[in-house]
Homo-oligomer: A and B are copies of this chain.
């Protein structure tokens, strides 16, 4: 760990001459002070400190590392057992010096930082640096430097990301196997998350496990399962060191897709496969998104749901009636990696979000580079807020065959999502161990 952390610091020093202080943040109380949400250190801190220390800060300056953390209160040993001392932690992460937190005030001169999510620590950051923190000036420079590093995952990061992906794969397999005997969404969620917990990992984000996949950010799990339902599960793991995975599969509870479900599933899968086949260093991610849109449009035309020329349909955002989100996002220490920096990480310098319906939700608009990890997650949804909107129905009146569409009412939401690493000469799908083919998924469920 020492060696990789040193390499990260040296790389940062090349890009950023300012001294840098990164805070880890503190645990947040849930309903009373001693009942706290599980602590999650700031991802930027984790990247350079390697381990999730609570209430700590590190200073990075010309490749040197200083650690600021208080030794555990001896009176708390009764409750928490022996916990590592500052000197032991400093040694473990290869710090050049280590101080109690009270010393930090004397080391903040000219330092840049990245604001953390925890409001209490954010306040400390502002007080220590004596200013409100915005992404301007030295903070913007620092953010850009960190983005450059974190966009390309090093070997240590990849090792963690692969561990995370492999556990998420097992969670999805467990979810599929649990389907035929489960009565509620919650029971399938339990089967999936218990795999993550059993591997001593956490969920990288609040799981989506629902028969109403058309509600994109559905965090309810109380629906009963009906035999004709498709279940959409978007569940990912996070390792102890903070590295995330992000997988979605959609499967028939019964173990058999209906013909209409199968038709749409295969359209989504065709988009998924076409995107992955096209990815390699240098390709614009936005083009991958548009490729997904075109393959979706082609498929929906061939099913008779859309009418017209696929390219023209994509130009008029007709694909977005059914596929309203982006094809994916960066993945790393955060499941939407570095999204705490707004679009700074997702959008190449000088680019901004489109106001087109079919592009505005794209979270990533950069050329792919080696060691970048992204998700590919095309989907098809019948969202009533879109398809029931009178203005939209009027605008797309001539390109949607509404009668035909009504034959597909047993398809509310389908998404297929994998984690794709860009390599020097192509790609590696970190989640490839989990089948995507409808036949294979049916076999797993019925097994």
In whole Å, how far is A242's beta carbon from the nearest beta carbon of chain B?
Answer: 8
Contact of A81 with B340 in the complex, beta carbons under 8 Å: no
Also in contact, A198 and B190, with CB within 8 A (given A80-B217, A120-B119):
yes
Nearest to A120 among chain B residues (CB) is B119
Of residues 1 through 56 on chain A, the ones whose CB sits less than 8 Å from some CB of chain B are 28-38, 40, 42-43
Residues of B within 8 A of A222 (CB): 200
Chain B residues, Cβ within 8 Å of A336: 32, 34-35
B212 pairs with A81, CB closer than 8 A: yes
A78 within 8 A of B: yes
Asked if residues A339 and B34 are in contact (CB atoms below 8 Å), the reply is yes
**Does A108 belong to the interface (CB within 8 Å)?**
no
- A383 CB contacts on chain B under 8 angstroms: 78
Q: Across the interface, do A218 and B81 meet the contact criterion of CB distance under 8 Å?
A: yes
Considering only CB atoms, which chain B residue lies closest to A38 in the complex? B206
A340 close to B32 (CB less than 8 A):
yes
Q: Nearest CB to that of A216 among chain B residues? A: B79
Q: Which of A132-140, A181-189, A267-275, A428-436 has 4 or more CB atoms under 8 Å from chain B?
A: A181-189
Residues of B within 8 A of A144 (CB): none
Known: A78-B383, A218-B81. A30 touches B40 (CB 8 A): yes
Quick check: B190 and A186 within 8 Å, CB to CB?
no
* The one of B186, B198, B385 that contacts A200, using a Cβ cutoff of 8 Å: B186
Q: Roughly how many angstroms separate A37 CA and B204 CA in the complex, as a whole number?
A: 11
When C-beta atoms are compared, the residue in chain B nearest to A191 turns out to be: B194
**Residues of B contacting A120 in the complex (Cβ-Cβ under 8 angstroms):** 119
A351 within 8 A of B: no
Interface-central residue, A30, A184, A206, A385, by most chain B CB under 10 Å: A30
**Contact of A78 with B212 in the complex, beta carbons under 8 Å:** no
Instruction: For the complex, give the distance between the alpha carbons of A29 and B119 in Å.
Output: 9
Within 8 A of B (CB), among A201-234: 205-206, 212, 214-219, 221-222
User: Which residues of chain B have C-beta atoms less than 8 A from A195's C-beta?
Assistant: 190
Does chain B have a CB within 8 A of A377?
no
B194 pairs with A117, CB closer than 8 A:
no
The reply to whether the CB of A420 lies closer than 8 angstroms to some CB of chain B is no
In the complex, whether A378 has a CB less than 8 A from a CB of chain B is no
The interface residues of chain B lying within 8 Å CB-to-CB of A38 are 206, 219
* B37/A28 in contact, CB under 8 A: yes
Digit string of A160-203 for contact with B (CB within 8 Å is 1, else 0)? 00000000000000000000000010110111011111111000
Question: 7 closest A-B pairs (Cβ-Cβ)?
Answer: A194-B194, A81-B215, A190-B198, A190-B197, A119-B119, A186-B200, A32-B340
9 more CB-based (< 8 A) A-B contacts, given A32-B336, A32-B339, A190-B197: A31-B40, A32-B340, A34-B339, A38-B206, A78-B216, A81-B214, A186-B199, A186-B200, A191-B198
